[in-house]
Amino acid sequence: MGAALFYVAMGAMVIPLVGPQQDECLFVRGILPPVYVHSASHRYPDVAFMLMPYIGALKIWLYKPLFAIWGSSLWTLRFPVVILGGFSVWLAFAAARRFITPWWAAAGAWLLAADPIFIWTGTLDWGPVALQHLLALSMVCCAIRVHQSGDWRWALGAGLAAGLGVWDKASFLWILAALVLAYVADNLRAAVSAWVRPRVAAAAAMGFLAGAAIFIRFNLRHGMETFRAQAGLEWNLPNKLLGLVVTLNGSSLFGFIVNDSGGPGLIGWSLLPLALVASVLIGLALEPVRRTTQFLSISFAAGYLLMALMKNAGFSSHHIVLLWPLPHLIVAAAAAGLWQGQRAARILALALPALVLGSGLLVHARYVRQARIEGAAVQWTLASRQLAARLEALNPPAIFVVDWGILDPLRVLGGGRLPLLPASDTIAAEIELSLADPRLLKLKDPSTLVVTRPDKELLFPNLNSNLNEWAAANGLSPETIERIQDDHGVTRFEIRRFAAPRQ
């Protein structure tokens, strides 16, 4: 419980440090206007089914009543997933204490709670990852109970958690497949004995079908669109392994979430990668924790290999962190095994998790320090708050967003009150194909406001010039109404309009 509360405290510290980001806010398009999702109920259009072909509407269903009661803000956006992360830490402990002693299971939970990547991606739900962790750990806890007791009710819970995880995001299949593979490799006979019993198998299947019903229905009706959208293999192992290392050592988010000029100060990497390698070797050598280490290591390796082989996966921390808390539990298991040895082994048992814990907290502290001193990076800028406030004050009839990563944060910060043109951030990139698009034609009205970034800050280059060329061809010229700066004096956004040149 202490580790879970510590994680919640660390997450609450992070919430106000950076602004909302597009991926984090993506689900809000199913709640706040302008509302649009990939699939919804025909009878009840307000009931979303799939946000995207590979992302379900589970988070939309959870947040809709929250926003209805408390409105949308940084805190209502982030604090609920911080609470979910706290539950995930507790579930990691609950699962670990089934195969190592409670003290060392608690150590594993503390390692997870202090992991900088887990803190930052979980608090900002960049991925999204919060529900993926919660459902995966819930599934594991239920599956352990099935293995130990044979109770079909736990099988129902495991199946339901797995089904909801797949609906939430199809990437859950990586983790599910990896855990099943490790379980079967560890003890095929025990796996068959526990799960092939009719009541247990039926309960697990019913739970999965209930949780994944919308996902399954969507794919049956749309020709397996989830898998077609994500189909393809990609072998780029050197770069993907680098992504794994920088995620393990906690440094992958510097320059992406917070600015970091690389100046002196707190360390920028943790000792988790070194401790993980050492712990695998130690755990496999120590009989009391050999099977535990083997299961956790196979799960980690198989899960990473599955995502690394997929196209557009395995590079980024928001994929790799889905393997958490496996690295932390491997370290805890090795420490538990060492603790049963002589004095020197016990010293190492204490030092191993302590070094990982301490270095992880120092990396987290550097993130916090950099957010306060150098500010958030482009996609996470706090200037979006000032932008939303100015747009609301200007009260235009329509707002055209040029670059990716602006529209959905404005949806959150504006509480759905801003007249944002749906998906307008896709038009400037393919303007030749959008010449008759009514959203583009609205720019001929000088009361329509245009929100963009300065040229050097654009996530997709040439968007401003594309739009300016279209405007010139239509006898219009851009006028900058206002520039929005962050707390460090950097211009992050520009509010413009198009009008006929003054004579």
As a whole number, the mean pLDDT across the chain is: 93
One-letter amino acid identity for 411? R
Q: What is the pLDDT of residues 359-416, one digit of tens each?
A: 999 999 999 999 999 999 999 999 999 999 999 999 999 999 999 999 999 999 999 9
Domain ranges across the chain: 2-373, 381-499
Please give the model's pTM, rounded to 2 decimal places: 0.94
3.40.50, 1.20.120, 3.30.70, 3.20.20: which CATH number matches 381-499?
3.40.50
The pLDDT tens digits for 47-72 are 999 999 999 999 999 999 999 999 99
pLDDT at 265: 66
Give me the residue label for tokens 């009931």: 47
pLDDT computed for residue 231 by the predictor: 67
Please compute the mean of the pLDDT values over residues 17-43 and round it to a whole number.
Answer: 91
pLDDT tier, 311 (very low <50, low <70, confident <90, very high otherwise): confident
pLDDT at position 91 over 80:
yes
CA angle centred on 164, ends 205 and 99, rounded to 5°: 75
What lies within 8 Å, CB to CB, of 277 at 6+ separation is: none
What is the predicted pLDDT for the residue at 264? 66
CA distance 475 to 470: 9
Q: At what angle do helices 58-70 and 152-168 cross, to 10 degrees?
A: 80
Question: What does the pLDDT average to over 132-160?
Answer: 95
pLDDT given for residue 252 in this prediction: 95
Alpha helix stretches (DSSP H) within 169-323: 172-186, 188-195, 198-211, 213-221, 225-229, 237-248, 272-285, 290-309, 317-320
- pLDDT tens digits, 177-234: 999 999 888 888 888 888 889 999 999 999 999 999 999 999 999 899 888 877 677 7
How, if at all, do strands 399-401 and 449-452 pair?
parallel
Mean pLDDT of the 235-254 span: 91
Q: Is there a contact between 259 and 370 (Cβ–Cβ < 8 Å)?
A: yes
Statement: residue 476 has pLDDT above 70 = yes
| Structure confidence at residue 107 (pLDDT) | 97
User: Mean of the pLDDT values across residues 479-494?
Assistant: 95
Summarize pLDDT for 253-292 with one digit per residue, the tens. Answer: 999 999 998 776 678 899 999 999 999 999 999 999 999 9
Give mean pLDDT, residues 90-119: 97
**Residue 451: strand pairing partners:** 401, 495
The 3-class SS string of 12-39 reads: HHHHHHCCCCHHHHHHHHHCCCCCCCCE
pLDDT tens per residue across span 149-188: 889 999 999 999 999 999 999 999 999 999 999 988 888 8
Tokens representing 45 are 């259009």
% of the chain at pLDDT higher than 70: 98
Q: What's the pLDDT at 503?
A: 59
